[in-house]
A and B are shown apart, each in its own frame.
Chain A
Amino acid sequence: MGKRDYRDEMIKNETKNINFLQKCFKEYYFNKFKHLESPLDISRREFGFMSFDSKMTRHISFINMGQLNAFLIQNVPAGIYISNSYYDFPTFPINEKRLIGSDLIFDIDLKDLNLPCQKDHTYYICKYCDNISNNLPSSCSVCKSTKIDSTIIPCGICIRNLKNETKKLISFLVTDFGINHKSIYVYFSGNNGFHITALEKDYFNLDSKGRTDLVEYLMGKNFSVTSLGVTQYKNNLKVKIPISGLSYGWRKRISKNMKLFNITNNSLQKYVNRVGGYLLFKKEVENITGKMGVKIDPYVTMDIHRIFRMPGSINSKSGLSKVKCNNLDSFDPFSDACLFEDDRNVDVDVKTRLEFRFKRKKYILDKCSTTVPSSVGIYLVLKNLANLI
């Protein structure tokens, strides 16, 4: 086939896929609207919508959930987004909205975790001919195109690591930032991560600069050994524990990690010398902060004018919903976040051999046409791993 033929074929598939998805999404907004979480103070929030051809519309607002419901059924968007900020005029351009305040929000995503298992379940898909490879090719082995997409099916290890990172974040928020456990809400993002929201009035008015500092704190960035009382001037090591002590926050975390207890100037100085001097001590501290810091996407928390997938809505990269996790340990995204009904089967063309779990069932699919429950069909089509027949 020539390039032109591949294109025509792709467009044909795309149209079929979108027709199918739109129908499913419309049913969801019609029958499953109750899953959409009613937001606090809805009329002060900015909404945004992504269409099936990836166009974003922002600066929209609703007075109540009924109005939103009507909008969804009429427009059938692929994605629904809502601001974590509250505004006097949510529909105005950003600089004229008049910010009231913003909830704290954090994003933990596979892309920031750099897990070694990632390569085992990442698929590279040619944008022209749908050819799939397991390693990132410089160009497609079939049609030589250089336009390559990638998609991930998270594995059990991925999910476990995401959960651990989420717990790490929560423990920071509770012990260091004094945020009540009950004010922290964990959501599965619907695709490869978790969104964590903290409704705490003390941080509601924190500006972007303050949030940046808070993020660096959580990530373990910019820690200075001076704050432990260790300095070096002209090659002379000086140790003087600060008046505010070492018993809280990162100072405590680091000294505990070094197994230093009841520290005195003397014992700290000895420790620094034992690890080989100032520079090596600094290096050790950097290792600890790097290891103990939480891996979050900093920009998500810093930027107060973002919009986020609305809780209860469908993630159009997977067909799974963004759902609240009341019990993080037992939460299984591939069953607890699948809110589509399996009232029928669909026929799909699977693009590559796949092995995955979905709604507590194991699927092993070969690269050929097959019949699957509609929710699995939606998942595979949105993951770009199958076409609807």
Chain B
Amino acid sequence: MGKDDFAKYPFLNEAGNFIKETYFDLDEFERPEFRHIIEKARKRVEYEVLKGIVCTEFEKYDLELFAFLISLIIIKHINIESITKKYSLFEAMRVEKFLTHDLIYQTNSKKRDLLISKIFHELLDLQIIQFDSQRNIFKMKISDYLSRSTLFHELEWKLINRSVDKGFVYLDVEETVRLVRNELSLLIYNKIKNMKITKIPDQIKLEADSIKHKVIFPTPVQTKNLKFPPCIEHALNQLNKNENLPHSARFLLATYMLFYGKSIDEIINIFKNAPDYNEQITRYQVEHLAGKKGSLIQYSVPSCSKLANENLCFYTHECKGITNPIQFGKKRLQRRND
């Protein structure tokens, strides 16, 4: 593997060794000729952490390697968990771009094989087998695929939407690389977490502090002012009192929350208080309801008359004139996914 590769894939052990072998001392970053590397690192962090854009700039390998090292120090110094995670993810996406490109365009099959064995086999412990060099298809065991794909929520990652045969899943290069994004991001995350720095050069500290000041924390979604219709309120209260809800009431809650754009995890969280709570089953059911959204069959929120039939309606004067819980307080509440 060449030095360019270490710079593209800086989590490789060889990359670390390379830096060690240069007998490089952090203090040297104080020297003016290193200014532009620090500048490069600052830009990379700002792009990824503040603007949310993957930085794909690639100059000389030693420049890139040192810039990577400095950016890690900056993140370490900022020391905010969500920033560390965001940076790790964007760096993983940067790697993804290089890796996809190399796997498609590297014509030297020896170099390509080495890349596959170093990154997939050794580092990620994922046995991918080249299936058809012409069309760039990899195959892997179904179990290896599933242990990673179930982290994704998009329909395309469901096994049923993949090419599956005799125990193997067939993926193209882009899909194969996308599959390991989380692991790549974890590698970088761990690198930052395990880094031990005794003294940070002033110039780097300065840049890190200036970035830290620019970080805007997302404000949590206000739910306090949301006024639920009495049927939903009642169901939520029952759950909060750890009482068992009938299936029909659960269906009402889930479809209502989905309608207002709540995420699957948020909805599952609501059901955590149910005495017979089982995360697996709840997730399956909620995902089932959610998965059908936008397809031919849409699970809609049951109408007031249907709810009344099932003894789930708790009519108050505020319900006047509505025929479905979603119309309740319409003026105050704006549908998020309109």
A interface, CB within 8 angstroms of B? 175-179, 202-203, 205-210, 212-214, 216-217, 220-224, 226-227, 242-251, 279, 282-283, 286, 298-299, 302-303
Of the candidates B142, B155, B159, B175, the one whose C-beta lies within 8 Å of that of A202 is B142
Report chain A residues within 8 Å CB of B172: 242-244
Closest to B141 in A: A202
CA distance A216 to B158 in the complex (A): 8
A227–B284 contact, CB under 8 A? no
Question: Residue B303 at the A interface, CB < 8 A?
Answer: no
Report chain B residues within 8 Å CB of A179: 167
Given contacts A224-B161, A302-B284, contact A176 B166 (CB under 8 A): yes
Given contacts A202-B142, A242-B172, A303-B280, contact A217 B296 (CB under 8 A): no
Question: Residue B221 at the A interface, CB < 8 A?
Answer: no
Question: Residue B201 at the A interface, CB < 8 A?
Answer: no
Which 10 pairs from chain A and chain B are nearest by CB? A178-B167, A249-B164, A227-B161, A210-B146, A248-B165, A243-B172, A209-B150, A178-B166, A244-B163, A248-B163
For the complex with contacts A178-B165, A224-B158, 14 further pairs of A-B residues with Cβ separation under 8 Å are A175-B166, A203-B143, A206-B146, A212-B283, A214-B146, A224-B156, A227-B156, A242-B172, A243-B135, A244-B137, A244-B175, A248-B163, A249-B164, A303-B280
B167–A177 contact, CB under 8 A? yes
Instruction: Name which of B143, B147, B278 has the most chain A CB atoms within 10 A of its CB.
Output: B143
* CB contact list, B130-182 vs A, under 8 A: 135-137, 141-143, 146-147, 149-150, 155-156, 158-168, 170-172, 175
Render B109-140 as a binary contact track against A, CB cut-off 8 A, 1 for contact: 00000000000000000000000000111000
Question: Residue B52 at the A interface, CB < 8 A?
Answer: no
B162–A227 contact, CB under 8 A? yes
Report chain B residues within 8 Å CB of A247: 163
A279–B165 contact, CB under 8 A? no
Closest to A177 in B: B167
Report chain B residues within 8 Å CB of A251: 163
Report chain A residues within 8 Å CB of B161: 222-224, 226-227, 250
CA distance A243 to B278 in the complex (A): 39
Contact count A vs B, C-beta below 8 Å: 120
CA distance A203 to B141 in the complex (A): 10
CA distance A224 to B172 in the complex (A): 18
B interface, CB within 8 angstroms of A? 135-137, 141-143, 146-147, 149-150, 155-156, 158-168, 170-172, 175, 278, 280-281, 283-284, 291, 295-296
A210–B155 contact, CB under 8 A? no
What are 30 sample pairs from A and B whose C-beta atoms fall under 8 A apart?
Answer: A175-B166, A176-B166, A177-B164, A178-B165, A179-B167, A202-B141, A202-B143, A203-B143, A207-B150, A209-B280, A210-B146, A213-B146, A213-B159, A213-B160, A216-B158, A216-B159, A216-B160, A220-B160, A224-B155, A226-B155, A226-B161, A227-B156, A244-B172, A245-B137, A250-B164, A251-B163, A279-B296, A282-B296, A299-B281, A302-B284
Report chain A residues within 8 Å CB of B141: 202
CA distance A226 to B156 in the complex (A): 8
B160–A222 contact, CB under 8 A? yes
Given contacts A222-B155, A244-B172, A286-B296, contact A249 B163 (CB under 8 A): yes
A176–B164 contact, CB under 8 A? yes
CA distance A223 to B135 in the complex (A): 24
CA distance A375 to B146 in the complex (A): 47
B280–A212 contact, CB under 8 A? yes
Report chain A residues within 8 Å CB of B158: 213, 216-217, 222, 224
CA distance A156 to B172 in the complex (A): 47
A208–B280 contact, CB under 8 A? yes
Closest to A283 in B: B296
Of the candidates B149, B170, B281, B291, the one whose C-beta lies within 8 Å of that of A244 is B170
Report chain B residues within 8 Å CB of A223: 160-161
CA distance A279 to B296 in the complex (A): 8
Report chain A residues within 8 Å CB of B281: 299, 302-303
Report chain A residues within 8 Å CB of B163: 242, 244-249, 251
Q: How far apart are B296's CB and chain A's nearest CB, in angstroms?
A: 6
CA distance A176 to B162 in the complex (A): 11
A177–B142 contact, CB under 8 A? yes
Instruction: Name which of B136, B143, B160, B172 has the most chain A CB atoms within 10 A of its CB.
Output: B160
Instruction: Name which of A217, A283, A299, A303 has the most chain B CB atoms within 10 A of its CB.
Output: A217
Report chain A residues within 8 Å CB of B147: 206-207, 210
Q: How far apart are A85's CB and chain B's nearest CB, in angstroms?
A: 14
Closest to B143 in A: A202
Given contacts A178-B142, A210-B143, A248-B164, contact A243 B136 (CB under 8 A): yes
Of the candidates B136, B156, B159, B167, the one whose C-beta lies within 8 Å of that of A217 is B159
A244–B280 contact, CB under 8 A? no
CA distance A216 to B170 in the complex (A): 18
CA distance A210 to B169 in the complex (A): 14
Report chain B residues within 8 Å CB of A178: 142, 165-168
Q: How far apart are A247's CB and chain B's nearest CB, in angstroms?
A: 8
Report chain B residues within 8 Å CB of A217: 158-160, 164
Q: How far apart are A230's CB and chain B's nearest CB, in angstroms?
A: 12
CA distance A127 to B245 in the complex (A): 26
Report chain A residues within 8 Å CB of B283: 212
Report chain B residues within 8 Å CB of A210: 143, 146-147, 150
B165–A176 contact, CB under 8 A? yes
CA distance A202 to B283 in the complex (A): 25
Report chain B residues within 8 Å CB of A283: 296
CA distance A140 to B281 in the complex (A): 35
CA distance A91 to B291 in the complex (A): 38
Q: How far apart are B285's CB and chain A's nearest CB, in angstroms?
A: 10
Closest to A213 in B: B159
Q: How far apart are B127's CB and chain A's nearest CB, in angstroms?
A: 12
B149–A213 contact, CB under 8 A? yes
Report chain B residues within 8 Å CB of A213: 146, 149-150, 158-160
Closest to A178 in B: B167
Q: How far apart are B288's CB and chain A's nearest CB, in angstroms?
A: 8
Q: How far apart are B282's CB and chain A's nearest CB, in angstroms?
A: 12
CA distance A24 to B290 in the complex (A): 50
Report chain A residues within 8 Å CB of B164: 176-177, 217, 248-250
Given contacts A227-B161, A243-B172, contact A206 B143 (CB under 8 A): yes
